[in-house]
Structure 1
Amino acid sequence: MSHGKQITLYMHTVGPNGWKVAFVLEELGLTYEPVYLDFRKGEQKAPAFTQYNPNGRIPAIIDHKNGDFVLWESCAILLYLVDKYDTEKRLTVTDDKGKYTLTQWLFFQASGQGPYFGQAFWFMKYHSETIPSAIERYQKETLRVFSVLDGVLAKSPSGYLVGDKVTIADLAFVSWNKFGVEGIVSAVDGVDVEKQFPAFYAWYKKVYARPAVKKVFEIYEQLQK
């Protein structure tokens, strides 16, 4: 593999967690080479990848400009990227309380958004049998997460999660938000996300519209064709 680009990013053509790393790489202007693992072939569990991530999940990065440093878990990667390369602190904050609040939201994304949305997709699309109670549970959890975010964002003067600007806390949610809005709750009768969760929806669309995020989603859309 050529190391002409700074970062090798192991990801998946659909899996949201890899894409949130790509957003931050683009925002910071870091060059990266995406390696899309084929889950149907079990490449994420093969030794060629588990030598980097023993958990056999995406994403993982190799930073070739930092001694081929390997890191996995998407939110850990986001923290590393801003700590190491966001010298102007464009995507993070500098005050102590703000740092902890930012980390809080990364934990909530990793533990409260991703798993619930992921289970919703699994039972809606991939499970071997249809289990209505499981589908309903995780669709409701998706709406609950939307409600949590909406309540906080409605009180935020900036419309962002931390401080007065976009940070990795906001960017961490975007890809799962897209799948939640367009895939999970679109199948639920009587739900209008824009009307029921207006602060959440405005934030989602604002972050989605950022040039770096739009560029990454354009790549994503091309891969789905």
Structure 2
Amino acid sequence: MSLKPITLWGHDSGPNAWKVAMILEELNVPYTHKMIDFPDMKKQPYESINPNGRVPAIEDPNTGITLWETGAIIEYLVETYDKQHTISFAIGTKEYFEAKQWMYYEVSGQGPYFGQAVWFTVYHPEKLPGVIDRYVNEIGRVSGVLDRFLKDKEFLVGGKFSYADAAFVTWYAVVPLFGDKIHLEKDFPVLNAWLERTKARPAIAKILQDREAAMKAK
């Protein structure tokens, strides 16, 4: 049975919808990526899709499900469309729960700290060195956890690429914003090598190229 395209709502520069796009590409699930500007996220008709007024959100005509929150969307996609467990793991196994563990670490430990570091470095009208240092230091802490864990490992869970690895990629694109404060290749070489392996996958590379093109076209 052929699938109808899923509608993915995103923004050209925001990292989270691009994570979802990576999963859709990896699973070869058809989708339409609709871009929405920040002001339009906070009003109808988009608020009827996501009452939180942020992206991503998906509308799946194959199941009738509308969903928001990145981690929830990714879990939904792999449990609905990855029956062969190409980028996920059989329900109830050790690896199944470990992948969830890393996903939750990403949405609670990476995204908020990286996002606040970007906000206070680039967008906040008043420069607050102590606050900037606080969040940039957290980028280093989160990266250190990954660097240590990945020693002698190719990927995070089960010795294979999974959605857990993909979830971390897009936020690392912000690291150049912090200049000399963060050096991935020098300070976190294991992490850096893992990111390069992950970004070399055709589906991941395609989405990174799509994101760059969308940002340039803005």
Please classify the TM superposition score into its range, dividing by the shorter chain length.
Answer: over 0.9
Matches within 5 A, 1:85-164: 85-94=81-90, 96-156=93-153, 159-164=154-159
Deviations 1:114-137 (A, max 9, x none): 000000000011101111111111
Q: What is the deviation of 1:5?
A: 4.8
2:32 match: secondary structure: strand
Amino acid at match of 1:167: S
Match of 2:171 in 1: 176
Deviations 1:184-204 (A, max 9, x none): 3xx134x43212211100001
| Aligned match of 2:180 | 188
Quick check: 1:81 aligned with 2:77? yes
Equivalent residue number for residue 72 of structure 1: 68
Paired residues, number: 213
Instruction: Mark the runs of 5 or more structure 1 residues left unpaired by the alignment.
Output: none
Is 1:21 the counterpart of 2:20? The answer is yes
CA contact (8 A) 1:8 1:63 kept: yes
1:60, 1:73 within 8 Å by CA — same for their partners in 2? yes
Quote how far apart the aligned CAs of 1:155 are.
4.3
Match of 1:208 among 199, 205, 217: 199
**Aligned partner of 1:218 among 201, 206, 209:** 209
Check the 8 A contact 1:18/1:74 in 2, yes or no.
yes
Deviation at 1:169, TM superposition (A): 0.4
2:121 is paired with a residue whose SS is helix
The CA RMSD measured in Å over matched residues stands at 1.4
Could you list the runs of 4 or more consecutive aligned residues of structure 1 that deviate by over 2 angstroms after TM superposition? none
Q: When the two structures are superposed, what TM-score results if normalisation uses the length of structure 2?
A: 0.94
Query: Aligned partners of 1:204 and 1:211: how far apart in 2?
Result: 14
SS in 1 for 2:136: helix
Task: Give secondary structure in 2 for the equivalent of 1:82.
Answer: helix
Shift of 1:29: 0.7
Query: In the aligned structure 2, how far is the partner of 1:74 from the partner of 1:59?
Result: 6
What are the ranges of 5 or more consecutive residues in structure 2 without an aligned counterpart? none
